[in-house]
Each structure stands twice: as structure tokens, then as C-alpha cells.
Amino acid sequence: MQDLASDQFFHAEALRDYLLCWESAEHRRRRGVSESEAAYHVLEHAGYLDRHGPPSWVAELRQLPAEDRRALVLAACRYTEGMTWAQRARRLLAAEALSAEAFEEMEDLLLRRDALETVWTVARGLADDLLQADPPLRRVVALSRCVAAEIDEQLAGRPDVVSVAAEVLARMPPPLPAPSSLSEGWWFASIGRLSDEYAQPLPIRRVRPAEAAPPLRFEADPQYALAAATSDDETVYRLAAVSGEKLQMRAFPRDSSKRVYTLALEPVPTSKEAVVLLDGEPIEQAAPPEYLAEQQLLFLFVTEAVHGRLSGPAARRSVELRQRPEPGKT
Amino acid sequence: MRPNVDSMIQTRKYELPDPIKEEVRVTFFNNRHHFLEHAEKHFACGDEPWAELLGKETVEKCRQICSDPRVSGLEDVYDRIVRILDEGIDTSIEKPTLIAYRQQRGEFKGVGYCFLTARGFYVVTSGERVRTALFVSDVVSDAPATRFRKAWLSLKKKFVGTYADRSGGVAVSTDESIWVSRENWDRCPVEETEAAPAGPPTTRRLHEKLRQALGPQEGAHARPRQ
């Protein structure tokens, strides 16, 4: 599926569609495409065609009269105003360890960030001779660059995650050439090297016994008015860490005798073990814990008495996720 | 121990086309907690165009439930969302745009499916359980064809190859991918654009260049459009 001809055909077909949309209100109406959406994707697909080479498509757009280029760039930049990738990146990267689904979204984000870079480089090239005499155009081009910078600000803070997810960008063609004055010091311009740079300290980290990561503590989630929700025999405690990560603890009787209660905690990564604290002290467990790895679901078992104290209205409940000791180590 | 059974959680069966040609069962999320977590980040979140598919009322209800678990109606919201996801999976089977993969992704190792739906969102399963369903839209108002194109290209790039685990972070490797159908992953099956009008004089050269670029390929990629 990594067929160059297939990718080029895809971009050419899309470019034709968005170009028709850009030129015809009727075509836009039929396709449900807005003017700014059409402009943005004309630049995106022309840019990708040039990236796949040989470059000639952006040069064709540069042949357009100045007024047409100005309108195209203005509309394309207007499209970026509706992007929410920076907030989405912030939300995704708030977690200490990304789940498989969050990683999935992170890859999508990076691919679309790559598209944004392509569009901006094309837009900048098309507006090159207009910017000096056109302050409104200068302003929107600069603002669209800020949209990219805000996304990068979030991404740059988590090289541990981004360096791995950015491997997906290796399947994209090389970036469009841009004047060094526009790319030097720009975080996204060096994203391809992130993986190598981040790998440098690793041999040391791997040789030395790593210090245990500090426990991650979850308290009652302030988002909820009540710390617990009760229905029938089950009580649900929604907990949150300062980082924003969430943990749910469900308490219910293990069987009809109600002598032993199950505390079901999720999600608990396989690398972690959970300690339930009551007023800052670990609770006593009635049986060894059980773990469902696929669902990241950990079951702890406590006596009726411990459950009674735990569910008391004044109880200060918290859960700590601690690094599970490696096999053979204490 | 109480079994991990959640009466709300639904499972559907799908008959996958050639070359997979087998019946698979898909369970929609691990449990209600997993569903709520996903709902908060996607279905109830204004960054993705779910309101268009689910209806504003459902999305608003979903938002209320996510922010306060005492709000009733979770089963109805879940049911509505499963129906939309189910319809979507059906479209990705009827006009096949799905991937069967064998992948190791962090802690998950095994087979799974990725269904790219006609509405432009995609659904990924780990084993038989839905792990995610999302759009790849830059902006919420993207047209359906734009959403589909973005997801199509993104999936094409994601479900191949191995990522080196040089950072000690999440290791991702796709050992095997079956692309169904090959022709729909070779050429993006977005509804055909009508015959191009002449276009304004300023872009006539560009249109001509596109005609040349697409002309011979269109023959090579020729297949019936559904």
C-alpha cells in the first residue's frame, strides 16, 4: 500500500476536486465544501504532489494572477482558524502513559500537522511577493503560523511520546524546501531527528538501574459533585490525578454472602500495581489481586469491615499506581 | 469473583468479504467505563463532527452523562452510538475499506480490524473489542469527502511497518496487514467528481496538467464505482 503512484494519483484527484470547488460555488454546494476548505486543500494536495516530485504544481499556482493568489492564501489561512489540534494534543499528552487509542489519535495528529506544514509552506511561497505591501495578508499568514506553533508547543513537551509516534512521518515524502530563515529553529522542521536525539541518553538509562517512577496518586475527581455514585450493590468512585489522568474504582460484594468485597480498578497498566489508601494508609487485602490484562482491569479483595470503612462518608480514599517490581527484583 | 459482565455492552456479528471471508464478532467497548472514557474524548467532544451523525440531543446527553454520572439515559446514548458505529462498519464491508492486522502496540498484541466507514470515521478493534472510533478532521465542518480522504490516507500510512522502540516508549509493529479491498486502498473510493468544466482561463493550464496526470492512471485504476 506504500505505492508512490497510488499516493500521487490520490493527491491529483483530490487537487482536481478542490480546485473545482474553489472555482465554482455550485460545485462547492454539491460537494458540501466551504470556500476556505477548498482553498486549504488545493494548497495541501498541490504541495504533496510537489513533495512526491517532480515539483511543478506549486509553480503552476504561482502563475495565477496576484489577486487570485491572494484570495487563495487568505481563504486557506482562514480555514486554520477552526483547527483545535492544540487542545487535542494537550488533552492527549496529559496522560503519563498513552493508551493504544490515544496513540492512534497522536499519529493522526502528526500526519495532519505535516499537512499543515505543507499548506503553510505553499501559502508562504504563493504570497511571497505580496506580503510586504499587504498588511492584512501578512497578518493572516502569520496567524496561521501561530496555529502550528501552538500545536508544536504541546508536542515539544513530550519527546518520549512524539519521537515514537513521529515514525509514521517517515512514510511521508520529504518536506517542501523552504528558505532556511523560515525553517531554522522551527520545532517541526527537526521532528525527523527527534527519534535519534531522544534515543541518545538511552544506553545510560538502560545500563543503570532506573529509579522507580514516583507513584501516581488518584484522589476524588473534582469534576463530580459527589465522590461516589451508588446503585444497588455497587459503588463507583471516580478518581483523578493532578495530571488529569482518571481512574475508576467500583466496589461490589464478591458473592451473596457479602463477606468479601471486590474493588475493580481500571485502567491499570500492566506495568503498575495499585495500592488503595484509606486516610493515607494502605488497606488490608483479603486475597491476592487478580488482573485482566487486555482490559487493564485489576481486582482487589477486601473484607466486609474494610469495605465498610472505605465507603464511610468521611473516608479519605485515594489510590496510588506504583511501578511493578521487575521479576527477580525486590 | 463477580464476572466482568456488563449487561449494557453489545456485540454484533459481521461477515467479512474476501479474502478474509469469515464471521467476526465485535463487542462495542470493554465495559461502560471504557465507553464513557471514549465518549468524553470523542462522541461528546466538539472537536469531531459526531453531532451530525448522532444528533445534537444525543451528543448533549452524552456530555451531561460524562460530566455527571448520576444523569440517567446512559443505555439509550450507548445504544444510539452503537447503532451509528454498526451502520458505519456495514458500509466499510459493503464497499470494502477495511484492514485486518496483526499488530503489537504497547501492551496489546494480537489481531484486530480497522473499518473505514463511508461517513469518514474509522473504528479500530483490538481482538474483538472496539478500542476506538474517531474522525481525522482538521475542522469540525469538513465535508464528508474531506473527512473520508483524510482518514483513508492516515490509515494507509499507519498500518504498515515497524516502529523502532528507540525511545523506550510505546513500541508499535504491524506484522501483517490485509487490505480489503486492494483496489479501494489503491485508489481512494471517494465519489467521482463530475466531468470538469473548462475552468477560468487562469487555471486552464492547471486543469490540463491534471487531466494528463489523471488520464492514463484512470485507465490503470479503472474499476466500477459503487
**pLDDT per residue over B34-45, tens digit each?**
899 999 999 999
Residue A101: the pLDDT is 85
Pick the residue from chain B with its C-alpha nearest to A92: B41
**A223 has a pLDDT exceeding 70:** no
Residue A16 in grid coordinates: 482536481
pLDDT class of B107 with cuts at 50, 70, 90: low
Cβ separation of B70 and A164 shorter than 8 Å?
Answer: no
Which residue type does A290 have?
Answer: E
- Residue A171: pLDDT over 50: yes
Question: For residue A6, what is its C-alpha cell?
Answer: 497510488
Output the average pLDDT for chain B.
Answer: 85
From B4, B160, B200, residue closest to A171, measured CB to CB: B160
* Burial classification of residue A207, based on how many CB atoms lie within 10 Å of its CB (0-12 exposed, 13-18 middle, 19 or more buried): exposed
Contacts of B4 in chain A (CB under 8 A): 264, 292, 295, 297
Best probe of the B interface among A2, A8, A16, by most B CBs < 10 A, is: A16
**Mean pLDDT to the nearest integer, A110-139:** 95
Q: Among A67, A68, A84, pick the best mutation site for testing chain B contact (most B Cβ within 10 A).
A: A84
pLDDT > 70: what percent of chain A? Answer: 88
Q: Of A10, A223, A252, which is closest to B188 when you measure between CB atoms?
A: A10
**pLDDT for residue A225 is more than 60:** no
Q: Does residue A2 have a pLDDT over 70?
A: no
pLDDT range class, residue B117, cuts 50, 70, 90 = very high
Q: Give residue A315's pLDDT.
A: 81
The contacts of residue A286 (CB under 8 Å, 6+ apart) are A260, A301, A302, A303, A306
Residue A266: which of B1, B33, B126 has the nearest Cβ?
Answer: B33
pLDDT in tens, A249-276: 999 998 888 889 999 998 888 778 899 9
Partners of A236 in the β-ladder: A229, A250
pLDDT at A133 over 70: yes
Mean pLDDT of B208-214: 90
Q: Is the pLDDT of residue B222 over 70?
A: no
| pLDDT given for residue B219 in this prediction | 43
pLDDT at A43: 98
Which pLDDT score is estimated for A199? Answer: 59
B167 band by pLDDT with thresholds 50, 70 and 90: very low
Distance CA A170, CA A114 (A): 11
Beta strands in A206-327 (DSSP E): 216-220, 228-231, 234-240, 246-253, 260-266, 272-278, 281-282, 287-292, 297-303, 317-323
Chain B's closest residue to A265, CA to CA, is: B33
| CA dist., res. B120 & res. A297, Å (int) | 31
Q: What is the mean pLDDT of residues B164-168?
A: 48
For range A215-241, the mean pLDDT = 76
Q: What is the pLDDT of residues B45-99, one digit of tens each?
A: 999 999 999 999 999 999 999 888 778 899 999 999 999 999 999 999 999 999 9
ipTM of this model? 0.89
pLDDT(A148) > 90: yes
Identity of the residue in A16, A88, A252 whose CB atom sits nearest the CB atom of B193: A16
Q: What are the chain A neighbours of B67 within 8 Å (beta carbons)?
A: 223-224
What's the pLDDT tens digit per position in B180-203?
A: 999 999 999 997 666 666 678 888
According to DSSP, the β-strands at B172-180 and A287-292 are unpaired
pLDDT in tens, A37-87: 999 999 999 999 999 988 899 999 999 999 999 999 999 999 999 999 999
